[in-house]
Amino acid sequence: MHTASAPGKVYLFGEHAVVYGEPAIPCAVERRATVTVEERSDGRLRVDAQDLHIEGFTVEYGETGPAVDAPKAVLEAATEYVDGAIAQVRDAADAPGAGFDVTIESDIPLGAGLGSSAAVVVASIAAATSELGVELDPREVAERAYQVELNVQDGQASRADTFCSAMGGAVRVEGDDCRTIDAPDLPFVIGFDGGSGDTGKLVAGVRELREQYDFAADTVAAIGDVVREGETLLAESQGGATVDDDVLTELGQLMNFDHGLLEALGVSSRSLDDMVWTAREAGAHGAKLTGAGGGGCIVALDRSDGTETALSYEAACQEVFRAELAHEGVRLE
C-alpha cells in the first residue's frame, strides 16, 4: 500500500489565456488531495471517494467500466481523471493488467478553481507507480498528469495545474515551457461560493469569443501582458522573503486588472464578483477569480483579518480560509 498527496493551486494571474500560449503564474497552496493505492490481483479498479465535496460513493470497475448509481456529471467528475491516471500508471510500469484499490481524500473543493482534478491525478499517478515499484520524478508525473487532463478536457487543458501540483511553489507556464520561479509567501485569502463552473463550457465560450471578435483576442493577449508585469514584480521581490506592502499593492492592482479582463470574457459570475468586491472594499490589496470561473473560488491578498471577516458575512461566500504557499509539490506519505 502506498500513499501520495499533492497540493491544489490558485492562479495569481493567467487562467484561460494560458490555453492560447500566453504565460500564467499559478501558486500551489496547502490544501491537498491524498490518494492511497493498493494493488489487487484481479485487474479491477475500485475507487473510494468519500469527501470530494460531492456525495461520497464507492465504484468498482470491471471489463464493462464503472457501475454506480450516480448522476453522469458527478460520476465523470469523480472517476474519469482517476481512470486516466491509472491508464498512465499501467503504461509507465508496463503493467497493462494491473488492478488497484484507490482511496481518495481531499480538502480541495471539486471544480472550484483550486486544481482539485490535477491534484487527484498527480497524487494517483505517484501513489500507484510507487505501489508497482516504479519511481517517477515530479516532472514526469506532471507530464503524465497533463496527458490525462488533456484527454478528459477534450484537448483544451494547459500544463499549468498539473505542473504546479507536481512541483509545488510558484510556477510559470507558457505553452510547453514550464518552470518553477521564486516567489514570496503571499497572504492568500480564498473565498468559496459553494459551487463550481463547467470548465469545458467556459473554455469553449472564450474560444468562440476569441474567434469571433478581434477585441476578445486582444483581451486574451492583455491577460498575458498582466502576467508578464506580475512576473517582473515577483522577480524583484526576493523569493522567500516577506513581501512589502508596496509590492503587494502593485500585485493586487494587477490581479484586479486580470479579473476585469476575465469578466469581460464572460467567465465570472455574480457570486464571484460579489466576493471580489467585498474583499476589495474590506481592504484587500487585490482580488480575482481563480480557475475556470463560472462559480467556485476567488483569491485575495490581505495580511489583515479584514478580508476574512468581510467574506464571512458575505451572502455569496459559503467558506473563507487562508492558504499558505505549498513549497512542496507531490510527495509520498
Q: What is the pLDDT of residue 239?
A: 56
Query: How many residues are recorded in the chain?
Result: 333
Residue 39: the pLDDT is 94
- Answer whether 146's CB lies under 8 Å from 162's CB: yes
Q: What is the model's pLDDT at position 238?
A: 61
pLDDT of residue 62: 43
The residues spanned by each domain of the chain are 2-181, 188-323
Given this model, what pLDDT does residue 237 score? 75
Q: Which fold has domain 188-323?
A: Alpha-Beta Plaits (3.30.70)
C-alpha cell at 277: 468586491
What's the CATH number of domain 2-181, 3.40.47.10, 3.40.50.150, 3.30.470.20, 3.30.230.10? 3.30.230.10
Show which residues are catalytic. Answer: 161
Please tell me the predicted confidence (pLDDT) of residue 158.
Answer: 79
Q: What is the pLDDT at residue 240? A: 53
Closest C-alpha to 112, from 183, 29, 184: 29
pTM (whole model) above 0.85: yes
Taking the chain (333 residues) in runs of 10, the rounded mean pLDDT of each run is 96 94 95 94 83 44 43 55 91 93 85 85 96 94 93 79 95 94 92 86 92 96 97 78 84 97 96 98 97 94 96 96 93 93
